[in-house]
Amino acid sequence: MNYYNEIDDKAAAWLRELVSRKLIPAGDVDTRSITEIKAHELKGYTQCHFFAGVASWRARLQPA
């Protein structure tokens, strides 16, 4: 399970859409500021993506 952090609501909504369409790996999308995230909250995640944007980088890498 991946962790995606993106403070912009529109970008976060797009991340959720990509996850639901299985275009990027399953994960949780968090819209809190990076300054509010505690290290223990990330325990159990395989990958953490901060400032995730719209994850076009991840979608392009997926087929590779």
Q: What is the pLDDT of residues 14-50, one digit of tens each?
A: 999 999 999 899 999 999 999 999 999 999 999 999 9
- Closest of 44, 54, 45, 51 to residue 24, by C-alpha: 54
Confidence class of residue 57 from pLDDT cuts 50, 70 and 90?
A: low
Q: What is the pLDDT of residue 55?
A: 74
**In the predicted model, is pLDDT for residue 51 greater than 60?**
yes
pLDDT reported for residue 6: 95
Residues 5 and 49: their CA atoms lie apart, in Å, by 6
Which strands sit side by side in the sheet containing 2-5, from one edge to the other?
Answer: 27-30, 2-5, 47-49
**How far apart are alpha carbons 34 and 49 in whole angstroms?**
11
Amino acid at 21: R
Residue 56 has pLDDT above 90, yes or no: no
Residue 7 is given by DSSP the state -
